[in-house]
Structure 1
Amino acid sequence: MAQMPTALKLVLFLVMLSMIALLELAIIPRVHGPFRYVSEVRAKATHFRPTVSIDKFIPSPEEDLDDVQKSRLSAVRQAMVHAWSSYEKNAFGADEVGPVSGTRRQDVWGGIGVTLVDSLDTLYIMGMHDEFQRARDWVANEMDFSHLGKDGGTISVFEVIIRQLGGLLSAYDLSQDEVFKKRAVEFANMLLPAFEDNVFYTHYNVYAQTSKLTNYYWWQRGLLADFGSLQLEMRYLSDITGNPEYAAKGDAFYEVVRREGSYQNTGLFPIDFEPAYGTFAKTDSFITFGARGDSFYEYLLKVWIYSGKHDSFLRETYDAAVDGMERYLLVHSEPDDAYYLQELLIPSMEGSPKQDHLLCFVPGMLALGTLGETNATKVARHLDLAKKLMQTCYTMYSRQPTGLAPDMVEFPGYRVLESSYHLRPETVESLMYLYRITNDTTYREWGWHLFESLEKYAKTTHGYGTVHHVDDLKTYYIEDKMESFFLAETLKYHYMLQTSSSFLPLDKYVLNTEAHPLTINHAANKSKNVPS
């Protein structure tokens, strides 16, 4: 028998290897653990295939965790599975689902699928990739903005930028799927009429079809948090598109901040802005780190971090604000041995002894601001303040029989002024930052107590709902309301609190005010629009 030619042997050998490889692909099951993929053959040509190496997320969220921590991490993930599966079953593509009734609520924020888009990165981070794929395909094929404003309705520029645009940008950052970038650009372009060229502000509302603009109040004032909480998203969009217009539109408000300066050189700013004059309110306003002012201060720090710490004006303004907060807002309630941040009436500077839950982001902000800081005195002072305020925010929960915090309390005595818990994320957000910065496991334990209370008192058939009367076990009840930020923020922060600190590390990612992670631009990318 003649010998087979060497070249033919090689060809047959390669064919056999190929057949073995195909057989292995056919029998290996898809792995559902975080950040591991085996591709499935799908009919849709739009099927998502990750283009970022999974090494981006190594080490895994479970690295260095003991069995207790792994169990807790799994429990948080299951909470997301529970909330998302009900939304997907009953209200996929709608703005919200009713957690008690399972009702589809199509138009809460304009009918643009806010819960879906707000949840994209949480799905991805928790390894829920089949769910992420289906949501991705909806964004690619069904997300529609053309109806906005047709019936005279408006959309909140602030809310949709942090939720919708932020969600799209973070999904792009994590997956590198171009469809998210494309839809983000389309959405941002629709919002551009809200940014007028001749003044340094954005309008609170925009009629998307007619470009008609309005502000929050009938006398046409705007809010500090609204104008000062979109620069991170707009800068990121400019960076990934190469179009400087987005960053310029957002950064224009920082020119006002520099030109006007703080109120009476306190380092603090009124919550009301007079767009007609380009000035901050001098009367009938407040100074607060709580509602309507909060994320302006948060973004001074986070935009500086995102810039690679090149925009010194932002860090200087942030540090001055923290100094002003300590001097003018920080109060020690002696009967409670508790520190809280009052709000001040303008122009009298009279203090009000109340604190809202939104303000509980401050301990985390202070902790984040110490990361990489070389001034040891500043680090010690800011961390000490963060820990004191963190204790107060946690006590707002632990004093209640439900273990859930009221939306507002008054001192002394933590007297409940507003007894509802709206599934807000600020306290667990701060616990996550403080744990990661200090490595003190106390904050992890406190977070777990909060999560257990969520499971016991806020969980419903179709998700988790706002809890009313958190201070009374006899009268408490769950409202048929689940905000998108519960999936975007609250559960994500609980997850990050229980993971390894090297998972989504804080020196590589900055989270927007809706907890959407964006990769920090470490390049020397100093904005030309913000003076230093």
Structure 2
Amino acid sequence: MGHLIRKNRDKLILTAGVLVIWWSLTTFLHGASKSEFVSLQRHMNSEVTSSRHVQGSSFDWSRVSFRYPPGSMTVIPMGNPSHTLPAIQAEFSSEGSLAMNLRERRRRKVKDTFTNDWGAYRKYAWMKDALKPLSMGYQDQFSGWAATLVDSLDSLWIMGLREEFDEAVDAVAGIDFGKSTSGRVNTFETNIRYLGGLMAAYDLSKRPVLLTKAVELGNLLYGAFNTENRMPVDFIDFDAAKRGEGLVVEGSVVSASPGTISLEFTRLSQLTGDPKYYDAISHVMDVFYEGQNKTQLPGLWPMMVSMSRQDVISGNQFTLAGCADSLYEYLPKTYALLGGHELKYEVMSIGFMEAAKKLLFRPMIPGGEDILMPSSGWVDENGRVYLDEETEHLACFLGGVYALGGKLFNRGEYVDIGSKLTLGCVYGYQSFPNGMMPERVNMVACKTMDGCKWDTQHFDEEKRKRPEYKEHLPLGFTTAKDPRYILRPETIESVFIMYRVTGSPKWQDLGWEMFTAIENGTKTELGTHAAVEDVTRASKPLPQSDYMESFWLAETLKYFYLLFSPPDIISLNEYVFNTEAHPFSRS
């Protein structure tokens, strides 16, 4: 039987290949559209793989009897079908041959880097969570469900690596979500990397196996809501979840954790027609919606929240970076995914972007460039906001989100803020000797957004207040508390979005400068790429860590690749990216 399946599949592949070649010639001779060619290619690829066997997980999560079942379902709002959102992408004019050749050379270089590191993962860490690029070993830290493989699926598809994609899809078909290498499953990471990766790859390729596995995993994650108040747990007790006996919601979690499920669960309900996923997350977002203007910094939520008490109000610590980042990121993105038919996401989006201005500052720097940096801060008993003037690389997503919000809500001011924030993070790259920005830095804030002249005496006074200050730091930086670069994507993410929103080629040039620095600075002796322990010093070789995060292939290199791709490839008018750079179709 297996022989017959392979034989029939070979015939289909041959037929598909002939048709694709024929269509390519037709395209060349008669000018048929690229979209028609891509459509045929996807159709034939889907036909080739539609008969692949899906190995069901050893446990059926859909059959768990919940101790705390949901009540009446909240369905996805549909609204007026004639309602359309504003275009996000700029209208691009046709490029000349010189510009096209330069762009394609850059794109090929990014692809070469990706295929090299994917090849290393395939050879040394296949079906494991992450590659160890120095020792060529592997590490399982996300339940052992091949995180890098699942996370990279849509990158393989977007880069046209069809054989590698087919092989990876075959491997995905055998992942067992009924077993875990850990007794506790991280809801946040499993949602953004695994569920997001499966659904995006399905949206792009229409391979049925991917949706089947996404539903399996979605049902596992749905178990996180089997709690007394129907709020999700941060970590799923794997065995208890199987028994359906009910889970206990943690007393305090970072706000990003419960706030970063809306996009994936909304898309899963859209794909399956099952409202339970959207229903589950809608109640969580109602809690955030109702508390948004009751916090000590109205419009923003505190860094830590309690889902057990449904308290998103208490606390005076606020941040736009790690612990809260993707909560804010998902507000305009979920609004877009829902076609603008759920107005609470518009209200929350504008509310957060207005309030977040209080956590932005213009740094005092020698050249006086007009840039902005995101900060964290706290609020005193009189409501006064104090900034710590610290920027995390994780906060560099914010420029892109302001740009998206500016287009979605017709607010040009937000696009301008997004541009200055993105340039601020790019400045962070350009300032350090290896062209890479550290994880965490401090700078000196100007008193107003209008800027300030460089003042050496004032800088000296401020740096003396920072025990972490080192004399070798570039002027303008009072600390690099965490000097690492761990292959993070947030800055290139914003650069990519700014390019697609404005159409200005300056963003491509800035991105290429970043890519060259990262590619050179993180390359190992074995040709792979690894996190760097300290990017603040010029000494070579740079100290490296034996670890390659899955987001290097899933996010960082994907955003670089798309920056140098034709703008109709994964258009922002047609797709919305989750926080792990997985594109979900908006149609």
Tell me the TM-score range normalised by the shorter chain.
0.7 to 0.9
Q: Take 2:389 and 2:567, find their aligned partners in 1: how far apart are those partners?
A: 36
Query: 2:110 matched to 1:46?
Result: no
Query: What amino acid sits opposite 2:275 in the alignment?
Result: P
Q: Take 1:244 and 1:355, find their aligned partners in 2: how far apart are those partners?
A: 39
Query: What amino acid sits opposite 2:150 in the alignment?
Result: V
Equivalent residue runs for 1:91-490 within 5 Å: 91-105=125-139, 107-140=140-173, 142-148=174-180, 153-196=183-226, 198-199=228-229, 201-211=231-241, 213=247, 220-262=251-293, 263-264=295-296, 266-280=298-312, 282-283=314-315, 286-326=317-357, 328-335=358-365, 337=368, 338-347=371-380, 349-374=385-410, 378-379=411-412, 381-412=413-444, 413-414=476-477, 415-460=479-524, 461=526, 463-474=528-539, 476-490=542-556
1:258, distance to aligned residue in structure 2 (A): 2.3
1:383, distance to aligned residue in structure 2 (A): 1.8
More deviation, 293-302/39-48? 39-48
The answer to whether the Cα contact below 8 Å between 2:296 and 2:313 also exists between their aligned partners in 1 is no
1:82 aligned residue = 116
Question: Kindly tell me: are residues 333 and 279 of structure 1, through their superposed partners in 2, closer, same or farther at Cα, counting changes over 3 Å?
Answer: same
What is the SS of the residue equivalent to 2:555? helix
Query: 2:101 matched to 1:67?
Result: yes
Query: What amino acid sits opposite 1:456 in the alignment?
Result: N
2:557 aligned residue = 491
The answer to whether the Cα contact below 8 Å between 2:292 and 2:313 also exists between their aligned partners in 1 is no
1:192, distance to aligned residue in structure 2 (A): 1.8
What is the SS of the residue equivalent to 2:152? helix
1:452, distance to aligned residue in structure 2 (A): 0.4
CA deviations 1:162-201 (Å, max 9, x no partner) are: 0000000011111111111111111111122211354253
1:74, distance to aligned residue in structure 2 (A): 0.5
The answer to whether the Cα contact below 8 Å between 2:269 and 2:277 also exists between their aligned partners in 1 is yes
Question: Kindly tell me: are residues 63 and 155 of structure 1, through their superposed partners in 2, closer, same or farther at Cα, counting changes over 3 Å?
Answer: farther
Query: What amino acid sits opposite 1:104 in the alignment?
Result: Y
The answer to whether the Cα contact below 8 Å between 1:30 and 1:39 also exists between their aligned partners in 2 is no
The answer to whether the Cα contact below 8 Å between 1:87 and 1:462 also exists between their aligned partners in 2 is no
The answer to whether the Cα contact below 8 Å between 1:215 and 1:222 also exists between their aligned partners in 2 is no
1:311, distance to aligned residue in structure 2 (A): 1.3
Gaps of 5+ in 1: 1-20, 49-61, 522-532
Query: What amino acid sits opposite 2:259 in the alignment?
Result: G
1:451, distance to aligned residue in structure 2 (A): 0.7
The answer to whether the Cα contact below 8 Å between 1:205 and 1:214 also exists between their aligned partners in 2 is no
The answer to whether the Cα contact below 8 Å between 1:221 and 1:274 also exists between their aligned partners in 2 is yes
Q: Take 1:162 and 1:431, find their aligned partners in 2: how far apart are those partners?
A: 21
CA deviations 1:58-86 (Å, max 9, x no partner) are: xxxx9875111110011111111011011
Q: Take 1:258 and 1:46, find their aligned partners in 2: how far apart are those partners?
A: 43
Query: 2:570 matched to 1:504?
Result: yes
1:282, distance to aligned residue in structure 2 (A): 2.0
Question: Kindly tell me: are residues 446 and 128 of structure 1, through their superposed partners in 2, closer, same or farther at Cα, counting changes over 3 Å?
Answer: same
Q: Which runs of 4+ in 1 moved over 6 A?
A: 26-31, 37-44
Question: Kindly tell me: are residues 214 and 497 of structure 1, through their superposed partners in 2, closer, same or farther at Cα, counting changes over 3 Å?
Answer: farther
Q: Take 1:294 and 1:116, find their aligned partners in 2: how far apart are those partners?
A: 25
Question: Kindly tell me: are residues 372 and 257 of structure 1, through their superposed partners in 2, closer, same or farther at Cα, counting changes over 3 Å?
Answer: closer
Question: Kindly tell me: are residues 346 and 446 of structure 1, through their superposed partners in 2, closer, same or farther at Cα, counting changes over 3 Å?
Answer: same
1:58 aligned residue = none
The answer to whether the Cα contact below 8 Å between 2:46 and 2:207 also exists between their aligned partners in 1 is no
1:43, distance to aligned residue in structure 2 (A): 12
Q: Take 1:273 and 1:193, find their aligned partners in 2: how far apart are those partners?
A: 21
Question: Kindly tell me: are residues 241 and 44 of structure 1, through their superposed partners in 2, closer, same or farther at Cα, counting changes over 3 Å?
Answer: closer
Query: What amino acid sits opposite 2:195 in the alignment?
Result: L
1:504, distance to aligned residue in structure 2 (A): 1.1
Question: Kindly tell me: are residues 318 and 276 of structure 1, through their superposed partners in 2, closer, same or farther at Cα, counting changes over 3 Å?
Answer: same
Question: Kindly tell me: are residues 25 and 307 of structure 1, through their superposed partners in 2, closer, same or farther at Cα, counting changes over 3 Å?
Answer: closer
More deviation, 112-121/409-418? 409-418
CA deviations 1:406-429 (Å, max 9, x no partner) are: 001101222312100010000000
What is the SS of the residue equivalent to 2:361? strand
Query: What amino acid sits opposite 1:439 in the alignment?
Result: G
2:462 aligned residue = none
Q: Take 2:328 and 2:21, find their aligned partners in 1: how far apart are those partners?
A: 50
CA deviations 1:2-59 (Å, max 9, x no partner) are: xxxxxxxxxxxxxxxxxxx98x95997999x9965887999996299xxxxxxxxxxx
Query: What amino acid sits opposite 1:459 in the alignment?
Result: K
1:56 aligned residue = none
What is the SS of the residue equivalent to 2:277? helix
1:101, distance to aligned residue in structure 2 (A): 1.4
Query: What amino acid sits opposite 1:135 in the alignment?
Result: A
1:276, distance to aligned residue in structure 2 (A): 2.6
Query: What amino acid sits opposite 2:345 in the alignment?
Result: L
Q: Take 1:44 and 1:334, find their aligned partners in 2: how far apart are those partners?
A: 58
Alignment identity in percent? 30
1:528 aligned residue = none
1:436, distance to aligned residue in structure 2 (A): 0.9
Q: Take 1:344 and 1:39, find their aligned partners in 2: how far apart are those partners?
A: 51
1:462, distance to aligned residue in structure 2 (A): 5.7
What is the SS of the residue equivalent to 1:279? coil
1:146, distance to aligned residue in structure 2 (A): 2.2
Query: What amino acid sits opposite 2:480 in the alignment?
Result: V
Query: What amino acid sits opposite 1:303 in the alignment?
Result: T
Q: Take 1:167 and 1:46, find their aligned partners in 2: how far apart are those partners?
A: 19
Query: What amino acid sits opposite 1:300 in the alignment?
Result: L
CA deviations 1:464-485 (Å, max 9, x no partner) are: 1101110112263121111011
Query: What amino acid sits opposite 1:178 in the alignment?
Result: P
Q: Take 2:550 and 2:283, find their aligned partners in 1: how far apart are those partners?
A: 29
Q: Take 1:424 and 1:136, find their aligned partners in 2: how far apart are those partners?
A: 26
Q: Take 1:334 and 1:156, find their aligned partners in 2: how far apart are those partners?
A: 40
Q: Give me the TM-score of the superposition, normalised by structure 1.
A: 0.83
More deviation, 186-195/118-127? 186-195
CA deviations 1:432-456 (Å, max 9, x no partner) are: 0101111111111111011101221
